[in-house]
Amino acid sequence: MTLIDSIIIFIYLAGIVAVGVIYRGRQDDINDYFTAQSGFSGFGGTVLVGLSLGATMFSALSFVAYPSIVYTYGITTLTGLFTFPFAYLVLRFWFLPRYLARPQVSPYDIIERRFGVPTRLVASGMFVLLRLCWMAALIYAPVIVVMASCNLGDHWFWPLVLLIGLLSTIYTVVGGIRGVIITDAIQLLLIMAVLLGTICYVLFKVPLSLEEVVDHLRYETNLLDLNWSLDPTITMTVWAMAIGGLMQNMSSFTADQMSLQRYLTAGGVKSAASAFGMSMASIVLVLVMLAAVGLTVGTWYDLHPDPLLPTDADKVFPYFVATQLPVGFMGIVIAAILAATMSSITSGINSLSGSLLSDFVPLAERVEPKRLLNYARLTCAGIGLMATIAAGFVQGMGSLFDIMNAFYGIFLGPLLGCMFCTVSKINVKGSALIAAMGVGSFSGFSVAYSDISNLWVSCVSAMVTVGLAWVVTLILPETQTTVSRE
């Protein structure tokens, strides 16, 4: 890495922390710290929330894993995008009107109203476990990229882990949800610009026209072929992306506190729906660009074989960044990867601390607002530190794509089942739902460690949760009742 690249990365890190601190808002109490008191309504607020939602869905995991999976399996990876219109209709006309029908402070208040405190605590516990594991993987992913791009030795691993984790924690602690949303929006725009620049640069260097590149992919590779196999053990098929990918996305959009928290900041169903629509548009755009990066980089190495090209697909893009990008652009790409990581880490830290304080430590009724706000900041700091330390133990868990899908499925699948039961009229009792969520998580774990593709983990765990909760409710005595929806 050159001095210019290093300066660019330093300027980005310093600038994004400064923005998070400057736009932290008044932060008079814990509600403003975690939900901004629904202060992101109106057109400008809707745009910011929408971009923040989009940024939350991306990280260095996506930045590295998605090009590598497209480089390996081709455009079958993109078939999941065709399910997004269906997801939008479900969110816009079924979920959001029910979820935002009554005012709430915490994203999981609605679960407590329907099923009681124990069910809410189980749901929050799953969310906490998911996001701690997820944030550890998030911090680990860019460390791989930086070390591979800069040809750094193993002794750089922990310094980079601490740098990324602690910087993200600092501006989350100070900035609250306002700072997180604004920096998320900036980071998503940076990610888009860098991806577009990378695609254009590769196409410029490849000695082929765009039409010839497409012909090369069509006739010289199988990357433009769709895999329609019904075999669930195949990692990437149209059905796995369409069904498994849809269930995973629905889990993120309807059951993940990081998404639910954004809906609460939007101030109403219409604003939340508009923000969600904008986030989906940004997600589609970024995924298409990530896929284009994978295809163009694959074309480059088809035409320019490199005996030193890593066999690990996760390291192909970082290797390309290190060996092919010009001075300065390499620093911008690494800054974008850090942006993708930090936008997700900050959202995770803020949502996790909100969950812990709102769901597990009911201090609000006996602690003055200012002191409670200080507790929130300390909780954010503790979570960020724990995730940073845990990042050192993610190695050896498989590819980033497998890690991402396994974590989502094991925890978010049951949460999707829980939220479906919460906002629907299905007759389910709280005790039955708690048991079903545990079994659903175990079933997801079993799929994740079987020969079945990890794309099916969310689908299996969510369906087991809903189905088992309904069956157990039929078996339980009628004397056991659920908490009223009202």
Of 156-165, 339-348, 441-450, 462-471, the one with minimum mean pLDDT is 339-348
In what helix (H) or strand (E) does residue 262 lie, and over which residues does it extend? Answer: helix 257-266
Burial 87-112 (b: 16+ CB within 10 A, else e): bbeebbeebbebbbeeebebbbbbbb
- Show the tokens assigned to 254: 């309807």
- Show the tokens assigned to 289: 């660009």
Encode pLDDT of 431-441 as tens digits. Answer: 999 999 999 99
Nearest to 197 by CA among 319, 64, 326, 72: 326
406 HSE (CA, 13 A, CB side): 19
What's the chain's length in residues? 486
Encode pLDDT of 284-299 as tens digits. Answer: 888 899 899 889 888 8
Which residues, 6 or more positions from 11, have their beta carbon under 8 angstroms from its beta carbon? Answer: none
pLDDT above 80 for 456:
yes
- Show the tokens assigned to 38: 């629904």
More confident position, 49 or 421: 421
CB 48 within 8 A of CB 387: no
Give the mean pLDDT of 226-244: 90
CATH superfamily, domain 3-397, is Sodium/glucose cotransporter (1.20.1730.10)
Measured CA to CA, the distance from residue 389 to residue 93 in angstroms comes to 41
pLDDT range class, residue 363, cuts 50, 70, 90: very low
CB 469 within 8 A of CB 476: no
Answer positive or negative: Cα dihedral of 474, 478, 479, 481.
positive
Measured CA to CA, the distance from residue 181 to residue 192 in angstroms comes to 17
pLDDT range class, residue 452, cuts 50, 70, 90: confident
Measured CA to CA, the distance from residue 234 to residue 90 in angstroms comes to 29
pLDDT (0 to 100) of residue 201: 87
pLDDT above 90 for 176:
no
CB 276 within 8 A of CB 116: no
Measured CA to CA, the distance from residue 413 to residue 249 in angstroms comes to 10
Find the radius of gyration of the CA atoms of the chain: 22
pLDDT above 70 for 361:
no
- pLDDT averaged over every residue in the chain: 80
pLDDT (0 to 100) of residue 279: 83
The ranges assigned to domains in the chain are 3-397
CB atoms under 10 Å from CB of 483, counted, come to 17
